[in-house]
């Protein structure tokens, strides 16, 4: 059996106001071809299918067109779980219709203690069970703990981790019971959309903390040992968890920002042999839109732009981010760069002129601009600017983090 694990498509995501539908379309076309070429039986998408809870019509069209097309390939089953960017109700809305195409969607955690809805027994063309998937979506705070008045940040974090652990233990127990009832045991696979302890992120990948505080990052030993493979989503850098080949983030299939421009994107192919042993290999994803970040003084920027013009072909679009690091003032930096890139395939999406950076940032944070800071970074700077006593900061940060989490976790309702 062959499984393909991918995640974090973020359909509809833009890059500095540039639409990226052509990239997403090219990736999904490549993915369809890869399913056929690699003879994939099961496709797993571990969350963040869309970039927002209210995806655009173009993003929805890409998604549903792909699902219709994948039904015509050799891939027998598709498992899709919601991530923190996805709307659970939106993901679940066509559930019954998609089930007829052997496409299984899980938008939110089951309210039943047994979590039966998250444990899927997949069958082959002869009706024989071939795989059990514990399709666990992003577990929201309300899914794993009950808030109590007067709780400290540490108490909340510990209860969150315990709640996530208990959830996986419960779905694992159901999966093992179903497996024991089969004539022949099959592999057990789990999904997850969370932040594993020690996971790698990048500065502009859009990844945010999922739970209040940073203590709720999940360690690898949280997952029950009965799982033969754990397919994770949320982090955009392809990586193993705790050096375990069988607990992995597939990473995002296209760069989410210029910080990922040099990163080789990939999807994970998991092959199970007759002894239910898993072998994992990475399939590199092609580059569908070239991104280049140029950082340096004016001479370096000029040289790099000239090299790009010389090396590029007339059919290749190149999106560029320029960070001017010299302290020599160049108020006409944009005009000079436009003159160097005119009549070329180079399109400069963003110019950061650090020589003109706001004083509040340059005093102690020379390498930063406002769009590089998270909400928590800005709040911390406000505390510093107003000389808030250190003894008060812990509770203020905890309260702000909880408010921020609730705001980001709110799914818009649709009026009728």
Q: Are strands 278-284 and 244-249 parallel, antiparallel or unpaired?
A: unpaired
- pLDDT reported for residue 416: 38
- pLDDT reported for residue 373: 67
CA separation for the pair 211, 192 (Å, rounded)? 14
SS3 label, residue 80: strand
Q: How far apart are the first and last CA of the chain?
A: 45
The phi, psi pair for 312, rounded to 5°, reads: -80, 150
Q: Count Cβ atoms below 10 Å from residue 409 Cβ, excluding itself.
A: 15
| Cβ pair 345, 314 in contact under 8 A | yes
CA 63 to chain centre: 16
CA 140 to chain centre: 16
CA separation for the pair 136, 166 (Å, rounded)? 12
Rounded to a whole number of angstroms, the CA Rg of the chain reads 23
CA separation for the pair 322, 305 (Å, rounded)? 10
- pLDDT reported for residue 193: 94
CA separation for the pair 249, 233 (Å, rounded)? 6
What does the block give as tokens for 151? 């709780």
Q: By C-alpha distance, which of 169, 171, 163, 124 is closest to 147?
A: 163
- The string of DSSP codes covering 320-366 is EEEEE--SS--TTHHHHHHHHHTTSSEEEEEEEEGGG--HHHHTT-T
Q: By C-alpha distance, which of 175, 75, 78 is closest to 125?
A: 75
CA separation for the pair 410, 416 (Å, rounded)? 19
- pLDDT reported for residue 207: 59
- By CB atoms closer than 10 A (0-12, 13-18, 19+), residue 89 is middle
Q: pTM for this one?
A: 0.82
CA separation for the pair 192, 181 (Å, rounded)? 25
Delineate the domains of the chain, giving CATH numbers in brackets: 2-284 (3.60.21.10), 291-359 (3.30.160.720), 373-409 (no CATH)
Per-residue pLDDT of the chain (416 residues; tens, 9 = 90+): 999 999 999 999 999 989 999 999 999 999 999 999 999 999 999 999 999 999 999 999 999 999 999 999 999 999 999 999 999 999 999 999 999 999 999 999 987 776 788 999 999 989 999 999 999 999 988 888 877 777 777 777 788 888 899 999 999 999 999 999 999 999 999 999 998 876 666 655 555 555 444 445 778 888 999 999 999 999 999 999 989 999 999 999 999 999 888 899 999 999 999 999 999 999 999 999 999 999 999 999 999 999 998 887 767 899 999 999 988 888 889 999 999 999 889 999 999 888 765 544 444 444 455 555 677 778 877 877 766 777 677 778 777 877 876 666 654 544 43
Total number of residues shown for the chain? 416
Buried b / exposed e along 257-287 (16+ C-beta atoms within 10 A):
bbbbbebebbbbbbbbeeeeebeeeebebee
Task: Give the position of tokens 């089930």.
Answer: 99
CA separation for the pair 133, 187 (Å, rounded)? 8
Q: By C-alpha distance, which of 208, 239, 242 is closest to 223?
A: 242
């Amino acid at each position: 059996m062959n499984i393909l694990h991918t995640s974090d498509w973020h359909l509809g995501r833009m890059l500095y106001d540039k639409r990226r539908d052509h990239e997403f379309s090219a990736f999904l076309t490549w993915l369809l071809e890869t399913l056929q070429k690699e003879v994939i039986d099961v496709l797993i998408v571990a969350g963040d299918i869309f970039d927002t809870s209210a995806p655009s019509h173009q993003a929805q069209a890409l998604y549903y067109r792909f699902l219709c097309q994948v039904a015509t390939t050799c891939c027998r089953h598709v498992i899709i779980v919601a991530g923190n960017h996805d709307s659970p109700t939106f993901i679940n809305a066509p559930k019954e219709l998609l089930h007829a195409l052997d496409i299984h969607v899980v938008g939110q955690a089951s309210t039943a203690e047994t979590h039966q809805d998250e444990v899927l027994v997949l069958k082959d063309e002869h009706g024989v069970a071939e795989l059990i998937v514990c399709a666990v979506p992003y577990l929201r705070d309300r899914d794993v703990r009950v808030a109590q008045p007067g709780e400290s940040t540490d108490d909340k974090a510990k209860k969150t981790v315990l709640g996530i652990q208990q959830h996986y233990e419960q779905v694992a127990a159901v999966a093992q019971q179903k497996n024991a009832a089969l004539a022949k045991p099959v592999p057990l696979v789990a999904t997850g959309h969370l932040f594993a302890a020690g996971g790698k992120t990048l500065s502009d990948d859009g990844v945010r903390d999922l739970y209040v505080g940073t203590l709720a990052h999940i360690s690898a030993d949280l997952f029950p040992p009965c799982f033969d493979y754990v397919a994770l989503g949320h982090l955009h850098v392809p990586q193993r968890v705790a050096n375990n080949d069988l607990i992995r983030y597939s990473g995002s299939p296209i760069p989410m920002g210029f910080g990922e421009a040099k990163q080789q994107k990939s999807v994970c192919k998991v092959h199970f042999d007759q002894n239910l042993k898993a072998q994992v290999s990475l399939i590199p994803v092609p580059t569908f839109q070239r991104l280049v970040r140029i950082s340096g003084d004016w001479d370096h920027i000029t040289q790099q732009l000239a090299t790009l013009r010389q090396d590029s072909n007339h059919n290749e679009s190149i999106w560029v981010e320029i960070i001017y690091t010299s302290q020599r003032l160049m108020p006409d930096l944009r005009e000079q760069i436009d003159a160097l890139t005119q009549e070329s395939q180079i399109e400069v999406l963003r110019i950061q002129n650090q020589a003109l950076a706001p004083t509040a940032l340059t005093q102690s944070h020379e390498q930063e601009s406002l769009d590089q800071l998270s909400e928590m970074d800005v709040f911390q700077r406000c505390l510093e600017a107003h000389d808030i006593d250190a003894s008060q900061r812990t509770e203020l940060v905890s309260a702000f983090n909880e408010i921020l989490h609730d705001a980001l976790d709110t799914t818009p309702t649709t009026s009728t």
